[in-house]
Amino acid sequence: MATLGGKIDNAILGIIGLVVLFKLYAVLVPEAQTAGDELNTSGVPLGSLFSANGIVFLIIMVALLTTVIKSFMKK
């Protein structure tokens, strides 16, 4: 029974961590994308990398997806 309780605790902590991670992403990324768009329109060299469609936010999304997948896979 002790292992079942431990697994349930781990599952609850994993779900709470996942929700917090997605909430942080939902709050922080749109503001960063707006700042990146302003940087891009200011004419800064390589500013397009930080725009809403730039590679930086693609890397952030891939890192988030990889983190979620790794956290739920057993080693």
Cα–Cα distance for residue pair 50/39, rounded to 1 Å: 7
Residues 28-33: contacts with CB under 8 Å, at least 24 apart: 29/57, 29/60, 32/57, 33/57
Residue pLDDT, tens place only, 7-26 = 888 888 888 988 998 899 89
Q: Minimal CA–CA distance to 71: which of 18, 6, 16?
A: 18
Half-sphere exposure at residue 44, Cβ-oriented, CA atoms within 13 angstroms: 13
User: How many domains are there within the chain?
Assistant: 1
The residues, ordered by sequence, that sit 6+ positions from 47 with a Cβ below 8 Å of its Cβ are 36, 39, 40, 41
Domain extent, residue 65, equals 2-72
| pTM (two decimals) | 0.68
Show the low-confidence residues of the chain (pLDDT under 50): 75
